[in-house]
Each structure stands twice: as C-alpha cells, then as structure tokens.
Amino acid sequence: MRDPLDIWLYGTRIATVSEAHDGRLTLSWTAESQERWPEGTRVLSAKLTVGDVPAPALVKNYLDGLLPEGNARTNHAMSAGVPPDDSFAMIRSYGRDTTGAAIFVTAGTPDPTAEGRYVPLTQDQLAERVRRADEHSPASAFGTAAESISLPGMVPKIAVHHEDGGWFACKDGAPSTWIVKRGSSAESGIADVVDTEVACLTLARMVGLTNIDAKILQFEDVRAIAVSRYDRDLDGAHPRIHQEDLAQAIGLNTLDPNRKFQWGSKMPSLLHAADVLRLDGGNPDDLLRLVTFSHLVGNTDMHAKNISFIRRADGSVTLSPAYDVSMHLHHRRDNRRFALDVNGKFLVDEVTIDDVVDEGRSWGLPERRAIRVVNRTLSQVARALDTIDRSAHSGVSAEAWDLIEKRTLDALV
C-alpha cells in the first residue's frame, strides 16, 4: 500500500486519506481537526463531516470531483504516469492546488499552506501552455513536481497567477489565482462561447451575482478566456477559500460526465442545491437569482459542476459567485435543453419565468418571496442590458444580444 495523504485546510491538518488492503479509500479525521471544529461540522464537504467515518465511496467521489473529466483526465494521468482510474494516485500527483482550499500532501509533510513560488511567463510561454492545455505539464507520481494543479472539467485549461499585468507559473504548491480556458476553433460553430462568457460575467457583476474578472486573450493562433478565481484571496487571512460543487456536495460521482446533467432524472437537481445551502444556514435566494439570470441569458450549461458553495473556516456556507455562464441559444447546434430541470421541465422552449418562480417555491420559499427575488433579478438584468458597453464585447454577435434582450422583455410582460 502507498503512503497516506494528509489534507490541509485553512492551516489545519484536517484529515488523512489512506488505502485499505482491498484498495478502497478511507478518510480519518485528525485530532487537530476535532479540536478546531465541532463534530459534524461540514467544513470540507457536505458529505464528509468532521468526526464521522465516511463510506469509502464518498471519499472516492469527493476526490474524483477535484479531478478533470473524460479525455482531460486520461491526459493528466498519462502525464503523471498513473492509471486514469487511480484516484489516489491522481490526487497524489495533482493535489497541491485544487479547487477550493484543500491541499493534499504526503502524510507527515509540514504545513504546506504558505509554500510555493511564482515564476514569470512570457507571452509566448503562456500561449504555448494554452495550446498544450489538454496535454498538461508533466507531474510526478509522487506529488513532488514543481507544478501540481488539478482543475475539474473537460475543457482544456490551465491555472496560473496574474499580477500587475504579468502572468506567472505556480511552482511548489503556490496557489493559482486565474484559470485560462482555451477557446474552440473558428470552424466549430461555438467559437464565441469565450466571448459570451466574458459578456455574461460582466452582466453578472453588474447585478451583483459574481466578483469574477474575465477577459479574452488573443494569441497568434489561439483565443482563450482568462477568469479570476473566486476561491483565492492572497491578501486575506487564508490565500485559499474552500468550496465544493453541487456534485461533490451530494456525493455524486461524475466520472461519467453525463451524470452532472439532470434532464428529467431525480438527481442532481436545483432542490438538492437549495438543500445544501439550508443545511448550514445558507440563503437560497441567491440560488434563485442565479437560476433567473441563467434562464434569461440562455445558459444551458448550469449543471452540477457549475454550481458551487463556499465553505468558510467557521463552518458557514454561501453560494459561490456565478461562473462558467455563457449564452448558448443562438448556436445552431444547441440541444436546447437546460442542464438542470426548472419546475420539472428541461426543454428551453417550455420553461417560462413563472416556472422559475415555481422552482423557488418547490424549495419551500414563500410564493411572495420567490416572486420578489425573481422580479428583482429580472429588473436588474434589464437595466444591465441597457447600460452594458456592447462595444467592449465585439465577439458577441447582434443575434446573441437580441436573443437575451427578447427573453428578458418577454419575462417582463
């Protein structure tokens, strides 16, 4: 059996992950974690509560949720020289900088929270990293490589640091602060997704749904979107802010990427997301605002990996800022299905703004409160559409703008 891995969170060695003799993964809480947090605290994950002994399947599902999906996972595994289905080996190689604040290191390693260094990247070096994003940079099977970063998802992406106009590689566990995602080719028919994501995040900032900065990067032969990480705060008490996505929070394994979509199934669902928030005193109003916004802009990709929750060191939970939001309905190839059902419906042409209200009611929100939240968001989006500088988003077509404007006007009637 291989050496265990310690999990560090908010400056505390919170738990240790080990392999049992049959290959199953076990998680044990440290004495330090139980001194800092009361038993039952959901600071690491909704499914991994301090003091409890979680089922091995839940441990594996949580770790898999930190890793890339599909071909991206295979490519990462090949770079590290480990099998793609070996979750323990993958986290061992790529777990120094994950989504959220959990840091995975060989058991007995001193506090790695403040470790790491940034190395400047030239524009050419950054461009080459983006070009080769789906190949990733080589990592050691023992987690000792200079860069050890894991990002979920299937889209080719890299993690870097951005400061004073410059870009930096993150070495020896330094926290990445920006994610750069490679755009699709011009021939794909969806090349403007990076452009509409920047526009949607701008709108989301204008209505108070996110604090993410986003911009287009143009290299000679590659376009990409760069987004700031909402789970990083280098000036705060903790440089990493912990978060988990909806799939992790409900114990859903997304090794099959299609499992993050609902499409008429019982799981995952927006009700599950509302329940995760309520479990630790969070407010589901922001979730209903996000659903309203996503409906208006035609974002069909709001699946269980694109809704997340921030878990603070005090055990409280809030909805994460909006991220990975784009306009999709103007694409000819779009399947016109929302990733998660809204009031029991998933076909875009069937979902109305009244369904959004009824979805909120199904979570237990009083009708008047659900109507107020939806109408307020609707009015804010309408004002933002009137004032946003569309010339700053030249990659967004008039058709795309017209479509979300029509959806918003129709909802206002």
Instruction: Give me the domains of the chain, ranges plus CATH numbers.
Output: 5-106 (no CATH), 117-228 (no CATH), 243-412 (1.10.1070)
Phi then psi dihedrals of residue 92, to 5 deg: -60, -35
d(CA 234, CA 242): 13
Task: List residues bridging with 45 in a β-sheet.
Answer: 48
pTM (2 d.p.): 0.94
Q: What is the pLDDT of residue 147?
A: 83
* CA distance to 96, 113, 166, 247, per residue, from 175 (Å): 8, 9, 16, 23
Q: What is the pLDDT of residue 140?
A: 42
User: In one letter, which amino acid is 275?
Assistant: D
Q: Which residues contact 315 (CB under 8 A, 6 or more apart)?
A: 37, 38, 41, 42, 43, 280
Q: What is the pLDDT of residue 1?
A: 72
Angle at which helices 367-387 and 193-206 cross, to 10°? 120
Task: List residues bridging with 166 in a β-sheet.
Answer: 163
Burial (0-12, 13-18, 19+ Cβ within 10 Å), 361: middle
Low-confidence ranges of the chain (pLDDT < 70): 135-145, 333-335
Q: What is the pLDDT of residue 141?
A: 40
d(CA 69, CA 76): 10
Q: What is the pLDDT of residue 339?
A: 96
Q: What is the pLDDT of residue 314?
A: 93
Q: What is the pLDDT of residue 287?
A: 98
Q: Which residues contact 131 (CB under 8 A, 6 or more apart)?
A: 182, 219, 221, 222
Q: Which residues contact 211 (CB under 8 A, 6 or more apart)?
A: 205, 230, 321
d(CA 54, CA 51): 9
d(CA 145, CA 283): 40
Q: What is the pLDDT of residue 333?
A: 66
DSSP string, 271-321: HHHHHHHHHTT--THHHHHHHHHHHHHT-TT--TTS-EEEE-TTS-EEEPP
Q: Please state, as a whole number, how many other Cβ atoms lie within 10 Å of the Cβ of residue 41.
A: 17
Q: pLDDT tens-digit profile of 156-174? A: 899 999 999 999 999 999 9
